């Protein structure tokens, strides 16, 4: 079985030369996602490091397993990997049916993709479009897990989302009193 440091080195090699939407080495994104998952154990950290490997490199799930990545970690990566022809909204909805850990993985990815420092470097039209896309995804993902887990992730990856989490709690509490 691979260790977290071995998976980190593997992810760095797999994403070597890749940059994200703002020109930052891609490994920084997957490491940020993994950091947000540290409170949930090594398997989730590994999944965070590998969450885009199948989608954005030539690696397949079977090759990952053959390289010694634990089956559970590969299953989580598969759960969040885009499928051709499947709209993003359907992908997010599908993830909520894959279990708590898959949802937490996608929440960490969403949180980092939504980080204000990253968004500020995008052209305004793209920034507005992605902000709406990621907010809509949180509307689906966040109700699928407990607030404490969301807070644990976003406090590490994107503390700006803590305000949104508090707003949701307040809104839900008000709706519960009205209902």
Q: Which one from 6, 28, 42, 56 is the annotated catalytic residue?
A: 56
3-class secondary structure per residue, the chain: CCCHHHHHHHHHHHCCCCECCCCCEHHHHHHHHHHHCHHHCHHHHHHHHHCCHHHHCCCCHHHHHHCCCCHHHHHHHHHHCCCCCCCHHHHHHHHHCCCHHHHHHHHHHHHHHCCHHHHCCCCHHHHHHHHHHHHHHHHHHHHHCCHHHHHHHHHHHCCCHHHHHHHHHHHHHHHHHHC
Does the annotation count 55 as an active-site position? yes
Residues with catalytic function:
55-56
């Amino acid at each position: 079985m691979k260790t977290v440091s071995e998976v980190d080195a593997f992810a760095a090699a797999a994403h070597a030369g890749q940059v994200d939407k703002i020109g930052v080495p891609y490994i920084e994104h997957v490491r940020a996602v993994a950091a947000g998952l540290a409170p949930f154990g090594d398997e989730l950290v590994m999944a965070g490091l590998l969450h885009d490997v199948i989608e954005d490199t030539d690696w397949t799930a079977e090759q990952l397993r053959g390289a010694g990545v634990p089956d559970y970690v590969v299953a989580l990566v598969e759960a969040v990997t885009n499928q051709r022809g499947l709209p993003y909204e359907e992908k997010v909805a599908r993830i909520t049916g894959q279990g708590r850990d898959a949802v937490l993985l996608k929440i960490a990815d969403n949180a980092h993709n939504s980080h204000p420092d990253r968004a500020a470097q995008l052209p305004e039209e793209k920034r507005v479009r992605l902000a709406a896309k990621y907010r809509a995804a949180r509307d689906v993902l966040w109700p699928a897990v407990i607030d404490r887990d969301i807070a644990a992730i976003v406090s590490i990856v994107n503390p700006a989302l803590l305000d949104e989490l508090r707003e949701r709690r307040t809104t839900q509490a008000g709706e519960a009193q009205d209902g």
